[in-house]
Amino acid sequence: MVDLREAVSYYVFSKQAVIDDVREVIRWPLTMLLNHLIFPRRSWYAAAARGTIINAANGRACVALVYKGVEVSSYRELRLGKDSVIEEGTTIQGALTLGDLAVIGRRVSIEGPVTLGYGSSIREGCVAISHTTLEDWVGISSNVHFITFTHDIGDITRRVGKIKFKPILVRSGTWIGTRTTVLPGVTIGVGCVVGAGSLVTKDIPDNSLAIGRPAQVIRKLGPGPGGGLPPELEKSWRWEKW
């Protein structure tokens, strides 16, 4: 049963409760202004203007693309790299850091702190929970879930015990296939490929092909023909060219 006296005392005497309420009152009008009134279109120009305003508010001087319909709990916690992209329908709670050329696709759910490195991309329908880090040139297909929280097993009255977080790290150059789930505390090495529909429960060493539920390494990968953008394109890359 809820103790009404405790609830009332929290809202009457808690400074944090007042701060949270004020933030909510401010956040939604700001979101509406950025998404629907000031720049209502889904054009490159509107997205660039929106991203520039967000970066300017955070003391940065580079253009990022933030498309219409992105919901953000705190614009002050966004760190957007040059020509990074956040597409429509994405929800962001907490801190998000994007490197240059990083891309977040449609309807992605972010609960920060989450970091994407240079040139990394995370596609439609993905979920990334706090303390998820993707290094440079990581490619994440659609509907991949990064789950960093777990809990102890409680007693008979409440089996969900104390909540705790175990960070996930995906090293540079890795590609993760669609509908993969990565569990708490996992590190996926450099240059790996994780097959579609996998369940990653333990660390994967560098340059490995892993697949299955749970994911198992089935072979090592060679250096391959190379990837990413050629150096001459990296210097002049702009999204309006595509």
Query: What's CA 9's distance to the chain center, in Å?
Result: 36
Omega of the bond prior to 113 within 30 degrees of 0, cis?
Answer: yes
Instruction: Tokens for 50, please give them.
Output: 């929106």
Phi first, then psi, for residue 65 (nearest 5°) are -110, 115
**Dist. CA 137–CA 99, nearest whole Å:** 10
188 touches 153 (CB < 8 A): no
**Dist. CA 70–CA 92, nearest whole Å:** 8
Cα–Cα–Cα angle for 185, 187, 193, rounded to 5 degrees: 135
196 touches 180 (CB < 8 A): yes
**Distances 152 to 55, 155, 156, 157 between C-alpha atoms, Å:** 40, 10, 13, 13
Selecting among 36, 131, 145, 151, the annotated active-site residue is 151
SS3 call for 181: strand
Q: Are strands 199-200 and 208-211 parallel, antiparallel or unpaired?
A: unpaired
Nearest one of 176, 116, 168, 171 to 144, comparing CA atoms: 176
Please say if 36 is a catalytic residue: no
What residues act catalytically? 151
